A and B are shown apart, each in its own frame.
Chain A
Amino acid sequence: MVAPPLLCWTILLAPFCAALLILLAGVHRKRFSAAVAIAALLTSFLAAGWVFLQALRDPAVLPCELSVSWISLPGFTVPFGILMDRLSLLMTLVVAGVGSAIFIYSIGYMAEDHAYSRFFGVLSLFAFSMLTIVLANNWIQLFIGWELVGCCSYLLIGHWYAKPAAAEAGKKAFMVNRVADFAFLLGILALWSVSSPIAAGRTFHFQTLQARLPELARAGPVPVTMLPLIGLLLFCGPLGKSAQFPLHVWLPDAMEGPTPVSALIHAATMVAAGVYLLCRSFWLFASVPSVMTIIMWVGGATAFLSACLALVEIDLKRILAYSTLSQLGYMVMALGLGGSVAGMYHLTTHAFFKALLFLAAGSVIHGTHEQDIRKLGGLVRSMPWTSAAFGIGGLALCGFPGLAGFFSKDEILVLAYERNAPLYWLGTITAGLTAFYIARAWFVAFMGREHAHGHESPPVMIGPLVLLAALSIVGGYLGIPRFLGELHGELHWEVAGISLAAVAGGLVLAWLLYGKRLVSPAKVVHALALPYSFLQRRYYIDEIYSWYVATIQQKIIAGLCAWVERNVIIGFAVNGTARLTRGMGQVIRLCQTGRVQTYVLAFLIGIIWLLSVPLRR
């Protein structure tokens, strides 16, 4: 039996060591760097699994906390540690498990890449950063991980940096996240500032805060308006990282990165960090109902609006990206409705089937070098394994009975049904839309006539697909909600029936349109030209942002700043000083007549004046 502290540190630090090793020794050794990265992440996964087994045998093992003092100043202490409870253990297993599958898949997908080692190095760094978020025991450590995953995301989206679109997409992701993270950091600092009535006792520590803050809020030292403000600021973090409306714009563009990156970072783990954060500090949000209302409506809106966007998208990966947005919206909505377990449950199953879908899409791209679904078709025949994986993932996504997505989505819909009827209907309609767009992708890209010639991917890519497909099938039976502390309620027949009807409706409609071609899709587009173009331009949100940047920011604000710079700073302060000095010089140099006699006269007057001093006294 290995002691838990050692295991926990191993989980966190193994990927970090791998990243260092690849950076220092592996930049030109392809096989070495891949092996190191995969071995490290598998080590993390096995260590987490070991902790999990121990926890199953003896529930008292969890939660356990390890902490070392990192920054210790008078009145300001930051620990660096690991908080291992059921929530973080589940998330660790997901990150390390799905991550390992994707790492292995990358061996095949990235085989021809010139920056193979860099890719694995950054992937390892990403795994470390993500685990830092998951295992953090204080807000500062969490924020460090938060920024690190943003940085890794930037590096990986821009992996093919020579391609302008990829470089731009990386920049966009980074900037949008910065905007959100700024508010997030303010929230953390605000939380810290109210964490203790005396200055010396302030803390970033999760559990201390959780134990102390409700008491303080009730007793009065924390102003009543402060907690909602903090909640709102903290929610800005997930708003950016989990790509909720209106800060979702970076995620579809992030699909410029390599597909394993899209699968790992922009579908399964990093974007789920926001949801994880909401769960981690759920006690805080639960105590401010006003913020909860905002959270659930943001989540519901994101779920619905991005599902609509997926309806008209033609890029296979972007369809999946919008679907990710939509599912994240579900999770956030569940959190907002007060169901942290339901949200976390959906996060887990979503990690399985969305990683599966992305890897299957990657396999398609690998085999055909094409990701426009209109140019694909009939892949079932040339890529049977990939198609089967995509099919299973798609069914799990739309909530086909018995698959993983069915159970977790049902939990969320039941929650909405009990607490908020409009959101329930929004969620149900979204479920129908989900079924429609994923079936559309299926029928257009995988069925029908063969347009692009493809070949099946190598076994090293198929293996992870099979593994994730198995998880997508059995994910609902693993007892995840029970592990998180909430007994799995029995099926709510009414809700399940209605959502199934919506899903079936979506599937059948897609089949009629794209499978049977009962009506030509072009005709439908023609009939619905206005909403179609509205969706195709993505609600003009990108346009609004560029208008904002180009007009408000660049012209008005930047113009104002430039005016102040030119006239006040340069004109008044800098040049003014010079002008003053020169003017004074011009006055004073009048004394310099250049005539010796004048100077001597000045001496004389001076001497007389000096000599007269004692007389005048």
Chain B
Amino acid sequence: MTVFAPCCQPPLGLIPVTLTHYLIASALLFAIGLAGIMTRRNVLMILLCIELMFNAANLAFVAYARALGDLGGQVVVFFIITVAAAEVTVGLAIAVLLARQLKTLNADEVSLLKW
């Protein structure tokens, strides 16, 4: 009982942080990321926004893991972090190449695969 006391019992005068709060924060992060992707033209900004969305997902996983007392969610988060690292590597490499080859980072100008 005492082990979980500091987090289960919030300080006086503050609202206890529940699962709902975490999920709302996660959804906000996700929406911000998505909005960024849809509005930004710069490849670097798009990559950053993708990272935001990843972290929104991570937050939701961790929150659920905590609420349900299941460590599986945390394990998934580790996976996602790993994958995101790899993805960022590739994404940044593409960005570097775009800057070198096409002299631009504007995603709209990169339409080589379009008919």
Contacts and interface: CB of A to CB of B under 8 A. Distances in A.
Q: Are A and B interaction partners?
A: yes
B115 A592 contact: yes
B1 interface: no
Interface in A590-610: 592-597, 600-601, 604
A297 to B, nearest CB: 75
Contacts of B108: 594-596
Contacts of A601: 38
A600 B41 CA distance: 13
B100 interface: no
B37 A594 contact: no
Nearest to A604: B34
Contacts of A604: 34, 38
B37 A589 contact: no
Contacts of B34: 600, 604
Nearest to A597: B38
A592 B113 CA distance: 9
**Main secondary structure on B side of the interface with A:** helix
**Main secondary structure on A side of the interface with B:** helix
A272 B111 CA distance: 82
Contacts of B56: none
Interface string A529-541: 0000000000000
Contacts, number: 25
Contacts of A600: 34, 37-38
A592 B111 CA distance: 10
A560 B115 CA distance: 42
A596 B107 CA distance: 7
Nearest to B108: A595
Interface string B23-49: 000000000001001110000001000
From A589, A594, A595, residue with most partner B Cβ within 10 Å? A594
Contacts of A593: 114
Interface string A215-240: 00000000000000000000000000
From B38, B107, B113, B114, residue with most partner A Cβ within 10 Å? B38
Nearest to A595: B108
Contacts of B38: 597, 600-601, 604
Contacts of A596: 37, 46, 107-108
Interface string B96-115: 00000000000110010111
Nearest to B114: A594
B108 to A, nearest CB: 6
Contacts of A589: 115
5 nearest interchain CB pairs?
A594-B114, A594-B111, A596-B107, A597-B38, A589-B115
24 contacts: A589-B115, A592-B114, A592-B115, A593-B114, A594-B108, A594-B111, A594-B113, A594-B114, A595-B107, A595-B108, A596-B37, A596-B46, A596-B107, A596-B108, A597-B37, A597-B38, A597-B39, A597-B107, A600-B34, A600-B37, A600-B38, A601-B38, A604-B34, A604-B38
Interface of B: 34, 37-39, 46, 107-108, 111, 113-115
Given A594-B108, A595-B108, A597-B37, 7 more contacts: A589-B115, A594-B113, A597-B39, A600-B34, A600-B37, A601-B38, A604-B38
